[in-house]
Structure 1
Amino acid sequence: MEKWQEPETLILWLSISLLVITSFALAIIVFTRLYFKRILKSKALLIETKLEHQKVLTHISIEILERERSRIALELHDALINKLNVILLIFSSRDLEKHFENSIVECISLTRQLSHNLKPPFIEELSLYELLKSLFLPLKSSYQVGYTLLRYNTNITLLSEQKLHLLRVVQEIINNIIKHAQATEIYFYLRISNTTTALKISDNGVGFDTLKIQGLGLQNIELRLQILNGVYKFKSNQKGTTFIACAPLTQE
């Protein structure tokens, strides 16, 4: 019997062949895993790039919107309010019906309020709490809705952009509570830490279908918080409405 026909030799060659096949199979498995891992990584990178691009476009859209708001607010203030004031002076100097004068005063007040809503005055100088407080001041007289304001550590100064976005978010929530929730009291809490800005709005209303603010209202909230890298939680039922939002702190 030749040596290669010996059982020991056959077993050795069989073991070597099995080892080669196993190694080849393992190499294929490893290569396949690496290949699919690379594909998944490429897809994840593509998705991340698209999301970042979308975020940039959103930011640009919001900036354009705010510039247009500022332009309209300036025109309201410099053109319409000034003309109404001139008319008011003319009416005041003549013996005309008092209700005409009162109507013009109301128009001036309403126009000024619209102008302030479009472009909040002194947004660079005022704190976030002071700006948000100005949203609640007209509630009692205009809508018979009371409010309670609480704050913690609100003396930290934020960037004007962050203040503006949070102001718009709170505006949207208040408007929806007034329109749909039948609330008589709104509770607001603002907390600013070294890393996070957090706010909470709740009411004593009957709640409302959150689908009612789907579309532009909810999209406005989502877009602005997305720009701030923030998150929010919104809940409404028969016991009332609760809105909570948090965003990383951006200081001046």
Structure 2
Amino acid sequence: MAYRFRVTGLPVLHTLGRLCFYVRTTVLGRNVLARGRVSARLAGAAMAALVGSGLGAFALTPASAGASAPVTAAVTTTVVTKAAAASCATGKYQKQVEGYLKQLGGYGTVTVDGKQSPADCAAITKFQKRFGIQPAQGLAGPTTFDVAKRLAATKTSACKAKKKGITFCVDLTNQTTWVMKNGAVYVKPTITRTGYKGYRTPAGTFTINKRTKKEWSDPYEVWLPYWQRFIGGRGFHQTTTYIHDKWRGSHGCVNLLQQDAQKYWSIGKIGMTVKVFGRRPGT
């Protein structure tokens, strides 16, 4: 069972690592006004928990933005309840997700019939866990559908990687990334989140020019784990927020899940090639 939440007029002020906000939201026809002042990390965790558990959804400016100007946003989002996820019920995007997982392979036996089965549920859960989708309980919801669709649409040949050596590839259009070695796929495509509107991640061919296992970002006062810079102040690093919050974005960096950031760190070296192409939707 899904509920629809309408959230309007949400001014946000993010400063010095704290998040201050007033939220006026209409939930099932009733107005609720809430005020909070918490750390950015706690706020991000709380929001992810709310969305993941089906208790609500609302939009804020990206936590990494460091913006001092208020931002107003209006969003209508469909979320799933804990009960629906826990029951491993047939999801809204069941057949589409089954099809994408069958195409991608590696997640177990999937029957593309639009009906949930124990095998389908196990495969979807495995996929969700791999890509940090919460809750990872086998329900084919909108986030699972979106991630599977983007990965299935990714064409590794579009990177036009070097025939020799390592090439890190970033597909801005599909918000995916992978690694090529000697012209062949070395690390399969995974999901990423790049610069949002006004801070678009630039397309082009670059080289890794700095590596720090834990870099401190002065402008935004946040640690960037597994930092590998490739142009200006932009580079690969582990995300500090829930990567599937599509209303978030970076200031041009390529955000990665922890396991992917660690993998990229283990491969990367100064001078290695990074190819960025396409354009993130909405930027």
Could you state the TM-score of these two structures normalised by the residue count of structure 2? 0.24
Answer 1 or 2: higher relative contact order, Cα 8 Å, separation at least 6: 2
Q: Which has the larger radius of gyration?
A: 1
| Structure whose residues are more often strand by fraction | 2
